[in-house]
Amino acid sequence: MANVTVIGAQWGDEGKGKIIDWLSNRAEMVVRFQGGNNAGHTIVVGDKTYKLSLLPSGVIQGKRSIIGNGVVVDPWSLLDEIGRIAAAGLAITPDVLVLAENAVLVLPLHRELDALREDAASQKIGTTKRGIGPAYEDKVGRRAIRAIDLADPASLPGKIERLLAHHNVLRRGFGAPDVDADGLLAALNEIAPKIAPFIGSSWRELDAARIAGKRVLFEGAQAVLLDIDHGTYPFVTSSNTVAGQAAAGAGVSPRAIGTVLGIVKSYTTRVGEGPFPTELTDATGEKLGVRGHEFGTVTGRKRRCGWFDAVLVRQTCITGGVDGICLTKLDVLDGFDEINICTAYELDGKRFDYLPADANMQARLTPVYETLEGWQETTAGARSWAELPANAIKYVRRVEELIGAPVSLLSTSPDRDDTIMVSDPFVDR
Ligand code: GDP
Ligand code: IMO
Ligand code: MG
């Protein structure tokens, strides 16, 4: 039996949360390995809806859940989320949740800097303003405050001083006041005892799981097109979102990643700025958005919508390391007379079967479409292949062919149980 790593294979919001929740009853541990509370995962179980940002989606099934070292963690947001989930009837105790001691903290000054930059920029990224980028910058700049530092209050004033020496210079450039060092120290000391019970070691937990032969599910946030290296730079997030990051961001061997499942929406969406070759700004785009309820979980922003882009997904399966995909939201395509799939791009009389790396070129690409006949029957709630109309099956098969990866799972509604398993990603290939 292999482990499984789940990643997003488009621009995020593909339905990773739903699928990780569904898969987590086949695993004994669920591990987040990058990103932070910029992620927003909606999980629907019967009449209950859970919205998670930092907590691994395994918590819904009570699985031991690790926030790995690669995640940047806003501790106030984490406690809020634990409170919200507790109010919904799920107690998140240290028996369930472990926060890696070497994970970097997102502080109010990171959120503030994120917002100052976005508000001042003429070319905005459209970030979630959760401070994710600034926190990763401080990590790489070796001045970040980490979870373990909360356990050593005596060391905090020196660490804060070092951090503020950097941040106050930046803030003055925006005309913002210096950070109140005493206030930050007091806030960290106040929160420390509440976070302390969760602090542990990601790599040691996972090593013990390996020795005990436990199955682990690695949970990616964001998606390959938002990856800092492989995404549509600079309109990306500040972490690596590809499967390989699961090893570095959790402290395991690259061989422990197991089978990589890419989550792929049956059409394309994007929140925030940046190129989007198949974007539809017409009534069809509006229809996809309305039918798919395409509003961001984190910021409430309307998601941009467009046709399925096979060029992009073929590429992200390669750069992300995807073995097979889960195709979600097939039901949203019910009732269209015709459905387009992008199979190539054109630019200045040249044809591209990949996404050129240059951002200016990406913004000017024209999609080349193949048109498939739609289906009028409903796929919503289908739980087996046999329930799918012939044209829906043709669509799925054509997607597989064009992206060069097999469909392992299909999702036909937000509900956990409306999932079709074609092949079990946990079974060794
Ligand atoms: P994530 O960030 O990848 O976890 O995805 P989000 O939760 O942000 O967005 C996906 C949205 O689609 C959520 O509201 C899900 O409840 C919903 N969803 C997931 N799978 C399906 C599906 O197969 N059909 C429909 N109609 N909705 C789905
Ligand atoms: P999940 O896990 C969709 C986008 C933001 C912005 C860019 C950078 O729910 O799929 P950031 O705040 O990370 O610096 O913003 O990345 N973004 C997401 N888009 N889903 C997400 O997460 C995202 N997380 C970040 O909209 O364009
Ligand atoms: Mg989301």
Regarding whether 42 and 168 lie in a shared domain, the answer is: no
134 domain-assigned: yes
Tell me the C-alpha distance between 294 and 129, whole Å.
19
397 domain-assigned: yes
Tell me the C-alpha distance between 36 and 16, whole Å.
15
Active site residue 41: yes
Q: Are 252 and 203 in contact (CB under 8 A)?
A: yes
Q: What is the total count of domains within the chain?
A: 3
* CATH number assigned to the domain comprising residue 144: 1.10.300.10
Q: Is the CB of 416 under 6 A from ligand 1?
A: no
The whole-number pLDDT of residue 301 equals 87
pLDDT of 231-290, one tens digit each?
999 999 999 999 999 999 999 999 999 999 999 999 999 999 999 999 999 999 999 999
**pTM of this structure:** 0.97
Regarding whether 87 and 220 lie in a shared domain, the answer is: yes
The whole-number pLDDT of residue 298 equals 75
SS3 41: strand
Query: Ligand 2: distance of its center to the CA of 228 in Å?
Result: 12
Regarding whether 82 and 228 lie in a shared domain, the answer is: yes
Whole domain around residue 48: which residue ranges? 4-101+198-259
The whole-number pLDDT of residue 57 equals 96
Q: Are 60 and 99 in contact (CB under 8 A)?
A: no
1 pLDDT more than 70: no
The whole-number pLDDT of residue 2 equals 87
User: Nearest ligand to the C-alpha of residue 301?
Assistant: 2
Give the residues across from 370 on adjacent strands. 341
Percent of the chain residues past pLDDT 90, beyond the cut: 97
User: Nearest ligand to the C-alpha of residue 295?
Assistant: 1
- Burial label for 148, CB within 10 Å (0-12, 13-18, 19+), is middle
SS3 251: coil
Tell me the C-alpha distance between 418 and 133, whole Å.
35
Mean of the pLDDT values across residues 120-148? 97
Counting ligand 2 atoms within 8 A of each CB, the residue from 14, 18, 271 with the most, and so the one to mutate, is: 271
Q: Is the CB of 206 under 6 A from ligand 2?
A: no
Give the residues across from 345 on adjacent strands. 352, 367
pLDDT of 100-114, one tens digit each?
999 999 999 999 999
Regarding whether 203 and 190 lie in a shared domain, the answer is: no
Give the residues across from 411 on adjacent strands. 419
Beta carbons within 8 Å of 97's beta carbon, 6+ residues apart: 55, 59, 65, 66, 67, 82, 198
Query: Ligand 3: distance of its center to the CA of 189 in Å?
Result: 32
Active site residue 424: no
Q: Is the CB of 328 under 6 A from ligand 1?
A: yes
Strands 48-52 and 41-45: antiparallel
User: Nearest ligand to the C-alpha of residue 18?
Assistant: 1
* Ligand 1 atom nearest to 43, measured from its CA: 16
Query: Ligand 1: distance of its center to the CA of 102 in Å?
Result: 31
429 pLDDT more than 80: no
Query: Ligand 1: distance of its center to the CA of 69 in Å?
Result: 26
222 domain-assigned: yes
